[in-house]
Amino acid sequence: MPDVVRFFTVLAVMLLAAKIVGEAFERLRQPAVLGELVAGILLGAGLLKVIPTAVADPLTPVFQLLAEIGVVVLLFEIGLETDLKAMMRAGGDATAVATVGVVVPFVLGFAYWRTTSDPVTTAVFVGATLTATSVGITARVLRDLGALHSLEARFILGAAVIDDVLGLVILGVVSALAAGAAFSVGGALRTLGVAVVFLVAALWVGLRFAPRIFALVERLRVRGVLLVSAFVFLLLLCALAERAGSALIIGAFAAGLILSETNQFALIEERIRPVADIFTPIFFLSIGAAVDLRAWNRQTLVIGGVLLAIALLGKLASGWAVPWRRYNRVAVGVGMAPRGEVGLIFAQIGLGAGVLSNRLFSAILFVVIATTLVTPPLLKWALRRGAAPPGETA
């Protein structure tokens, strides 16, 4: 039973470190999520090696699975706290934000790496990696700052969902390129269609039947039935999303949106918090744990610095995608900046397929971690300061 003992020990250390470092950062007037990321770096591959990250380690997939649970619970929470009607009213604007936030980083990243001697496929991977947005980081900061119901939050969250749909299309294309396949417009459009149809169908069906089902659940007397039913609903919708060719996090967000329209949503929201308190920090620590600071030599950091500038400017441009509305443009652009686990997935596929060299992979990893780390303090500054020009704040 040594792995069970080690699993319990590592899990205890991770959760304790998340709270201690998170508390330290909150006392420094920074979001706790930033502390959790730093705790992950300290406990991860590059320093103390407490959190298992090696492929050969039998506990690595276990903690990856716990991190997946953490991110879907987080997105479920965010969905519960999101005003669906208000977000739908911002649908066209959010689409514009997402489109600019995907096209600009891709074009700039592709153009920059195309100047090297590497093949076109590598340049496509570099550009594709820079398009990703990790809604989990931004959503956590927005919630911690009490800004989830702002116009900026609706833009960011709506755009992040659309960004994930577009990201699925790009991921399908670059995966095919890595496998040696030719680009297929039909395949890309099919992936896009599946994701959109799933999201629309899930909301259409769920909003009609979930209120009735949970009205019946509320009448049951067995302990914890409401929480368990909500958690089961979350897991099933995530599984359906994955089976349909969409993403787990899209299913999780949709589940939260649906249950936010039930009469029981306040109780569900209250009772899911202890579950999130356990699983969500594991997700953020796992992102930090992937960092190996020893791989970042001078050349890697130079490449990473250029890509980081492209990554930040490309997403910042998305804040100006809706010129006909008044809102905090800098906050929206900054909120779209973190790459998080989505960027890591792109980079890992490229490395595994031999499209990305270890040097380029390390540079991209630097960008992923840097955008993830700088977003919480920058977003807090943008929201608190009201960084939009006069007359443009929501």
Q: What is the pLDDT at residue 182?
A: 62
Q: What is the pLDDT at residue 390?
A: 39
Highest mean pLDDT among 151-165, 202-216, 335-349: 202-216
Return d(Cα 127, Cα 114) in angstroms, integer.
10
Q: What is the pLDDT at residue 389?
A: 43
CA 19, 25, 29, 33 dihedral sign is negative
Average pLDDT over residues 53-76: 91
Express each pLDDT in 200-222 by its tens digit: 899 999 999 999 999 999 999 99
Report the mean per-residue pLDDT for the chain: 84
Return d(Cα 155, Cα 329) in angstroms, integer.
10
HSE (side-chain half, CA atoms, 13 Å) at 61: 3
pLDDT-based confidence at residue 392 (cuts at 50, 70, 90): very low
pLDDT of residue 262 exceeding 60, the answer is yes
Return d(Cα 48, Cα 56) in angstroms, integer.
18
Average pLDDT over residues 342-362: 76
Q: What is the pLDDT at residue 86?
A: 64
Q: What is the pLDDT at residue 87?
A: 63
pLDDT of residue 394 exceeding 50, the answer is no
> Dihedral (C-alpha) 152, 157, 160, 161: value to the nearest 10 degrees?
-150
Q: What is the pLDDT at residue 194?
A: 75
Place of tokens 């479920």: 76
pLDDT > 70: percent of the chain: 87
Express each pLDDT in 78-112 by its tens digit: 788 777 776 676 678 888 998 999 999 999 999 99
Instruction: From 151, 171, 199, select the one nearest 350 (Cα to Cα).
Output: 171
Select the more confidently predicted residue: 196 or 334: 334
User: Residue 281 corresponds to which tokens in the numbers above?
Assistant: 């920090």
Contacting residues for 353 by C-beta, under 8 A, at least 6 apart: 178, 179
Reported pTM = 0.75
Q: Is 296 left (phi over 0), alpha (psi -120 to 50) or beta?
A: beta
pLDDT-based confidence at residue 385 (cuts at 50, 70, 90): confident
Return d(Cα 247, Cα 34) in angstroms, integer.
25
| Terminal CA-CA length for the chain | 56
The type of residue at 245 is G
Average pLDDT over residues 327-346: 81
Highest mean pLDDT among 86-100, 146-160, 311-325, 336-350: 311-325
pLDDT of residue 62 exceeding 90, the answer is yes
pLDDT-based confidence at residue 129 (cuts at 50, 70, 90): confident
Return d(Cα 381, Cα 5) in angstroms, integer.
42
| Domains of the chain, residue spans | 2-385
Domain 2-385 has CATH 2.60.40.1120: no
Q: What is the pLDDT at residue 387?
A: 43
Average pLDDT over residues 283-311: 86
User: Residue 320 corresponds to which tokens in the numbers above?
Assistant: 């100006």
User: Residue 344 corresponds to which tokens in the numbers above?
Assistant: 């890591």
Instruction: From 37, 70, 67, select the one nearest 52 (Cα to Cα).
Output: 67
Q: What is the pLDDT at residue 274?
A: 94
215 close to 230: Cβ distance less than 8 angstroms:
no
Q: What is the pLDDT at residue 386?
A: 66
Q: What is the pLDDT at residue 196?
A: 76
Select the more confidently predicted residue: 183 or 49: 49
pLDDT of residue 245 exceeding 60, the answer is yes
Average pLDDT over residues 40-61: 90
Highest mean pLDDT among 55-64, 121-130, 290-299: 55-64
Highest mean pLDDT among 186-190, 203-207, 386-390: 203-207
